[in-house]
Amino acid sequence: MPPAASFRRRGLRSRVIRVVMMWARWSWGRGDLAGACRAYRWAVAHGDRFWQGFASRCEAAGLHELGDTAGAVAAYRRCIAFGDRDSAPAAALDLGLLLERLGDTTGAVTAYRRCVEFDHSSAAAMAAEFLGRLLEQQGDSAGAVAAYRRCIGFGDRGSAPAAAEFLGRLLEREGDISGAFAAYRTAIRLGCERRRTDASDRLADLLETQGDLVGARAARAHRDVPGKLGSALDDVQHNYSHVRSREFAPHVVSVLRHGEIVEEAVWVRQEPGFQDGYLILTSQRLLMLRDFHYPDNRSCRAEGPLPAFEYFAFDRAGISCTVDDDATKPTLVVRYGAGSSTSQVKSIAFRHARSLRHLMELLAQG
């Protein structure tokens, strides 16, 4: 067949497959799942590899809805065999969940492992978390630890915090206290509102059992950080997403020292350069942090450094703070390195005088 004719034939087939897929979607929408499954099955038989994986997964979901679990399992496995990078990982995850509900834990473990092997998308991270949980239930602690660590390594926002917390609990039961500490701190740093609270409580409980009451108190105070950041944004009436402060709070916690508690957070502007950010007073330091806000929506940055978001961090004992009454806006003057040749000054403008007064009162308390 001449190349031009072959090209036209492939183009015609592709258009036909698109029409069939649209028909399948329309049939599904009107409640005709059986008709949709027939259309998807036809697309698997006559389509190219671009469509086969996707159509197989859609057929599997339809058969599952119809109660044909054996057919759904076969369709999921067919999708995995096609190896499409978009459909196969999700199909392996769905297959694992289905087999686990059916009581086939061996098959579920195999499916989760296959999903993780694709090393792609959030599906692999979820599969690693579920694999760790299932292996832990089966008594395979070493396998569970490896799976949880793999999940954390993916850095997925939805799965990594939970996996880090589960890892901490498992290591704590196994007697690996230092490993449990590290895992709980990882869960807190990765963020996820519910998990952050759970991990902070677990960390606090563990610190208490080790006799570290100061560290335990600071860990329980982690849950107050989102509210303090949210109040700072509300005070200046920023038109930001209501989840902004909760998303940034784990990064604030990540820069805190052991036993350090956030006392106050204010949205301010530092000169020169007019750099906006949070001025944060802790029990030990005065920090200014740039809210980079969602540094990477697809990653928790489980490993490696965070973006540079710390403008400065001074020990409270090493600074002197005064108010510049001549400035056009309420201004805090911070002098650090006093008594040396490198003594420097930071001028920080506040939106409201009341915020500056409150901060000065806290500083005066020591």
Report the 10 Å Cβ neighbour count for 74.
15
Residues 212 and 241 in one domain: no
Most confident of the ranges 33-42, 113-122, 289-298: 113-122
Q: CA-CA distance, 163 to 165, in Å (whole number)?
A: 5
pTM: 0.78
Taking alpha carbons only, the member of 305, 292, 217 closest to residue 262 is 217
In a domain, 3, yes or no: no
Residues 185 and 265 in one domain: no
Q: CA-CA distance, 27 to 44, in Å (whole number)?
A: 17
In a domain, 6, yes or no: no
User: Are 151 and 216 contacting, i.e. CB atoms less than 8 angstroms apart?
Assistant: no
Whether residue 2 is preceded by a cis peptide bond, meaning omega within 30 degrees of 0, is no
Domain CATH code at residue 128: 1.25.40.10
Does the pLDDT at position 318 exceed 50? yes
For 299-315, b/e burial (b = at least 16 CB within 10 A) is ebbbeeeeeebebbebe
- The mean pLDDT of 345-349, rounded to a whole number, is 88
Residues 206 and 271 in one domain: no
In a domain, 49, yes or no: yes
pLDDT of the residue at 235: 81
User: Predicted confidence band at 346 (pLDDT cuts at 50, 70, 90)?
Assistant: confident
Domain CATH code at residue 234: 2.30.29.30
Most confident of the ranges 89-98, 111-120, 239-248: 89-98
Report the 10 Å Cβ neighbour count for 70.
8
Residues 108 and 238 in one domain: no
pLDDT of the residue at 302: 52
In a domain, 4, yes or no: no
Half-sphere exposure for 285 (CA within 13 Å, toward CB)? 16
DSSP 307-320: P--EEEEEEGGGEE
Q: CA-CA distance, 102 to 108, in Å (whole number)?
A: 9
Catalogue the long-range contacts made by 69-77 (C-beta closer than 8 Å, 24 or more residues apart): 69/98, 69/102, 72/98, 73/98, 73/99, 76/111
- The mean pLDDT of 284-304, rounded to a whole number, is 65
User: Are 323 and 332 contacting, i.e. CB atoms less than 8 angstroms apart?
Assistant: yes
The range of the structural domain enclosing residue 240 comes to 229-364
User: Predicted confidence band at 8 (pLDDT cuts at 50, 70, 90)?
Assistant: very low
Residue bearing the bigger pLDDT, 260 or 48: 260
Q: Give the end of a domain, one of 173, 201, 224.
A: 224
Residues 185 and 290 in one domain: no
Taking alpha carbons only, the member of 250, 258, 165, 167 closest to residue 213 is 258
In a domain, 5, yes or no: no
Q: Give the end of a domain, one of 224, 250, 284.
A: 224
pLDDT of the residue at 138: 94
Residues 134 and 26 in one domain: yes
Tell me the H-state helices in the chain: 3-29, 33-46, 49-65, 69-82, 88-101, 105-118, 121-137, 141-154, 160-173, 177-190, 193-209, 213-220, 225-236, 244-254, 353-364
Cα 246 to Cα 193, 227, 280, 289, 334: the distances in Å are 7, 8, 15, 15, 28
- Whole-number average pLDDT of the chain: 83
- The mean pLDDT of 79-87, rounded to a whole number, is 86
Residues 220 and 254 in one domain: no
- The mean pLDDT of 333-352, rounded to a whole number, is 80
User: Predicted confidence band at 113 (pLDDT cuts at 50, 70, 90)?
Assistant: very high
Burial status of residue 1 (CB atoms within 10 A of its CB: 0-12, 13-18, 19 or more): exposed
What's the total number of domains in the chain? 2
Does the pLDDT at position 295 exceed 60? no
Residues 191 and 284 in one domain: no
Q: Give the end of a domain, one of 200, 224, 248.
A: 224
pLDDT of the residue at 6: 42
